[in-house]
Structure 1
Amino acid sequence: MGSAGLLLLLGLAALLPADAAPCAAQRPDSSTASQLLGTWLYVAGAAQFPPHRVEMLLIDRAFLRLEPGAGGQELLISHYVAVGNQCFTNNLTYLEVTPGNATLVKQAKTHQTEGMLMNVSSENLLLVQYQMQRERTYLGQYLYARNRSISTEEREEFKQHAECLGLRAEQIVYAPWKTEVCQVKEAEGSNSPHPEPVAAVTASPAPGTP
């Protein structure tokens, strides 16, 4: 497994169109776009695709930084992932928000849809759902939060979304956040997208950063 695959994991992989969502509804429209700005900490992931589950087990910590784009309808995303003693990063994806439409995760170079934000009960949670096509369709989702200490109710909500995708509780992997690389405060306080010592990796379309 290469570092490009690890970056793609939380970069969300090469995915099917957003209208293929099997469960729940997408975040309704652009009215909540400003609430998405800032830092989101990676809490957990769940995936049917076996290599993705293996990659999740290697991730110690990860987070996203969402910033306003120049066009007004785009939120730029910087991904940070700690694996071992290295911090990987990329900024090839963005959220596209259009009036009356869902918020989509896009790949900046190809403009390919990579995932969708799902409706959740709390503004402090960010749930991304994706589908990936191989010999069959693989489903998965990633949970981010403003604070790593999510409530029992929020964990249950994530499990329910996973069950809706046909995923079992044992297929959910929670990030341990034990190492010191990829410091959130350092990333927030810098104009550079690279916190800590970084091995810069370019995400490729296929498969998966968290």
Structure 2
Amino acid sequence: MLAPLAFLLGLSLALAAEPPSCAPLVPVTFDNATIPRLLGHWIYIAGSSKYPPHLEELKALKHATFSIFPGSHEDELNVTEIMRMNETCVVRNTSQIHIFWQNSTLTHVDNQVTSTAVMIQSDKDLLILQHLNANFPGLSLSARTPNVSKEHLEEFQAQLHCLGFTEDETFFTSEKDACPLPEEKTDKDNADPQLG
């Protein structure tokens, strides 16, 4: 009688020690409300990627904002990005996002470089993208404001953990590194925005 009881107690302790199971990320299925939700101003908060070109960019990215506008076709959006890469502020207004309704994916095209992603279901003021680059996982978080709640950050970090990322592989931007907007630029600013 003691052996089965000891086994059950040991099993319950072993189960309690295991980390909680990871729920799969739930992609957004595009409908008529999806694209209007994307439009407007966003602040890039954090991201992780195992894809070497994206990883290099994440290491250099100190701050980024982007605005999404309707394009000339219903399956196209225009993007303006303002970012600080290391010590240089860069303004890009030549990139586009192509919308693929049939599989609910977005493809960002910037100077012949493409990156495909799916939107993950989240709060309406958050934009979580799961990046699809060969077999390299990637996940990014953007928000309408620079202040993301502790709960939302913890949820994003749990998603990263489930994808196999460590804290050292997650890169956060900082509001203190924000580039001045082109209309706010003064003669004293030493980081000249470069038009891309």
Give the alignment's TM-score, normalised by structure 2.
0.70
Q: Tell me how far 1:124 sits from its aligned partner.
A: 0.6
Q: Tell me how far 1:113 sits from its aligned partner.
A: 5.4
Q: Which residue in 1 is equivalent to 2:175? A: 177
Contact 1:27/1:118 (CA < 8 Å) preserved in 2?
yes
Contact 1:102/1:116 (CA < 8 Å) preserved in 2?
no
CA distance in 2, matches of 1:132, 1:100: 19
Q: Which residue in 2 is equivalent to 1:120? A: 121
CA distance in 1, matches of 2:178, 2:148: 21
Contact 2:45/2:172 (CA < 8 Å) preserved in 1?
yes
Q: Which residue in 2 is equivalent to 1:199? A: 194
Which of 60, 65, 83 is 2:67 aligned to? 65
Higher relative contact order (CA 8 A, sep 6+): 1
Q: Tell me how far 1:150 sits from its aligned partner.
A: 0.4
Which of 25, 45, 48 is 1:46 aligned to? 48
| Structure 1 counterpart of 2:67, one-letter code | R
| Structure 2 counterpart of 1:120, one-letter code | Q
User: Percentage identity across aligned positions?
Assistant: 25
Q: Deviations over 1:9-62 (max 9, x none)?
A: xxxxxxxxxxxxxx6243211322111111110101112246644543432210
Q: Tell me how far 1:186 sits from its aligned partner.
A: 5.2
| Structure 1 counterpart of 2:194, one-letter code | A
Specify the structure having the higher radius of gyration (Cα). Answer: 2
Q: Tell me how far 1:81 sits from its aligned partner.
A: 1.1
CA distance in 2, matches of 1:43, 1:107: 21
Q: Which residue in 1 is equivalent to 2:108? A: 106
| Structure 2 counterpart of 1:145, one-letter code | A
1:129 aligns with 2:127: no
Q: Tell me how far 1:148 sits from its aligned partner.
A: 1.1
2:156 partner SS: helix
| Structure 2 counterpart of 1:198, one-letter code | P
1:93 aligns with 2:88: no
CA distance in 1, matches of 2:183, 2:150: 26
Q: Which residue in 1 is equivalent to 2:142? A: 144
Q: Which residue in 2 is equivalent to 1:27? A: 28
Distance change (3 Å), C-alpha of 1:86 and 1:122: same
CA distance in 1, matches of 2:71, 2:132: 26
Q: How much is the aligned-residue C-alpha RMSD, in angstroms?
A: 2.9
1:93 partner SS: strand
Q: Deviations over 1:172-195 (max 9, x none)?
A: 1111221352438859xxxxxxxx
- 1 or 2, which has the higher helix percentage? 2
Distance change (3 Å), C-alpha of 1:131 and 1:84: same
Contact 1:94/1:107 (CA < 8 Å) preserved in 2?
yes
| Structure 2 counterpart of 1:200, one-letter code | L
CA distance in 2, matches of 1:86, 1:68: 28
| Structure 1 counterpart of 2:29, one-letter code | P
Contact 2:99/2:105 (CA < 8 Å) preserved in 1?
yes
Distance change (3 Å), C-alpha of 1:120 and 1:160: farther
CA distance in 2, matches of 1:105, 1:41: 19
Runs of 4+ deviating beyond 6 Å: none
